[in-house]
Structure 1
Amino acid sequence: MGCGGFTCYKNALCALNVVYMLVGLLLIGVAAWGKGFGIVSSIHIIGGVIAIGVFLLFIAVIGLIGAVSHHQVMLFIYMVVLILVFIFQLVVSCSCLAINKTQLGQFFNATWTRMSNETRMDLENSLNCCGLLNTTESSAQFTLDYSLCKAECIKQKCQTCGVKMLKHADEALKILGGVGLFFSFTEILGVWLAFRYRNQKDPRANPSAFL
């Protein structure tokens, strides 16, 4: 049967969900690796990455089972969830592409004050810096962070984490937004494949069976 038929849609949908499964497993593996090597010890960050990986893995399994068995209900649930994920991911990706350095600085400031000392020290050790930004408004917080800092650069004069983060965050957000935007359109492809596949007649089924 040529491409565009039952088998073609089935194989394409299965292949797409295998990719989603690999991405989900990769996220879980990276989070476990980061925890195991002590790169990030915050349970909130690790838990968040693992939750995203497990969710993606769960959706991919639903899609894969639905594709293999041509299960109408599972394929419908798969389509609805993918549409919701697409909308959320599209908004997040566009926000990443639109944000500027001034907004990034305000975001870092707000986030830094909510972090635990453990998370701050993890970040300082990873980036080899101390404190966020040494400004008039945050001088007291900066002095406290510097006194608790255990980064290697503490033997000399450490650069602030805010300067290092702002230097690369803009570029990283553009890349993240672009990748997220591209990946979001694969979800629309998944919805389209699932929709077309649901309306295909299984050639092995009873010709009089209800579609």
Structure 2
Amino acid sequence: MACGGFTCSKNALCSLNVVYMLVGLLLIGVAAWAKGFGIVFSIHIIGGVIAVGVFLLLIAIVGLIGALNHHQVMLFFYMVILLLVFLFQFGVSCSCLAMNRSQQVALLNATWKMLHNETKVELEMNLNCCGLLNITADSQHYLSDVSSCQAQCRKNVCQTCGEKMLLHSAEALKILGGVGLFFSFTEILGVWLAARYRNQKDPRANPSAFL
């Protein structure tokens, strides 16, 4: 059968959702591995990664069941959810690619203030740094971070965590934005495949049945 036929669309949609399931399981597994080996101690970070993995896994299961059964309602909701995810991820990916240094500093400051103390301590120990940036609008907040720092570099002179992050932030944002942009186009491919598959007639069904 030609690649534009019912079977090809079904197989392509099933394959795409199997990939989404593997990615979701990979995220859950990596989060559990990081927690088990003590790489990341913050329950908020672990919970966030696991939540993303479970969400992607559930979407893939809905799409896979809908594709296997040619279920119109499940395919419709799969299309809507995947389209919303695409719009959000596309916007975030473009923002990552377009972010300049001053915006990176502002984002780091805002994110650092929202972190819990245990997460800051963990980050400082992993990166061997103290505080975020010593030139900020809230210098008292910086001094408080340095006083509670437990990094090994405190014995000598510590570089700030913000300076270390900014050294590689541009490259990291490009990688993150590029991967997110690539993955977002696989999502719009999934929406297109689901829409096309919904409107195709099952050759094994009753020819007189209404689609």
> TM-score, normalised on structure 1?
0.95
Letter in 2 for 1:166: L
2:8 equivalent to 1:8: yes
Report the aligned-residue RMSD.
1.3
Give the structure 2 partner of residue 174 of structure 1.
174
Aligned partners of 2:43, 2:78: CA distance in 1, in Å?
Answer: 30
- Deviation digits for residues 5-42 of structure 1 (CA, Å, limit 9, x no counterpart): 11100110000000100111111111112222222222
2:85 equivalent to 1:67: no
- Deviation digits for residues 64-109 of structure 1 (CA, Å, limit 9, x no counterpart): 0011111111111111111111111111111111111111111111
2:40 equivalent to 1:46: no
> Structure 1: which 5+ residue stretches go unaligned?
none
> Structure 2: which 5+ residue stretches go unaligned?
none
Give the structure 2 partner of residue 113 of structure 1.
113
Percent of aligned pairs with the same amino acid: 74
2:32 equivalent to 1:32: yes
Note if contact 1:39-1:122 (Cα within 8 Å) is conserved in structure 2.
no
Q: How many residues align?
A: 211
> Aligned to 2:192, what secondary structure does the other structure show?
helix
Give the structure 2 partner of residue 55 of structure 1.
55
> What displacement does 1:190 show?
0.5
> What displacement does 1:62 show?
0.4
Structure 1 residues 117 and 205, CA, compared in 2 at 3 Å: closer, same or farther?
same
> Aligned to 1:86, what secondary structure does the other structure show?
helix
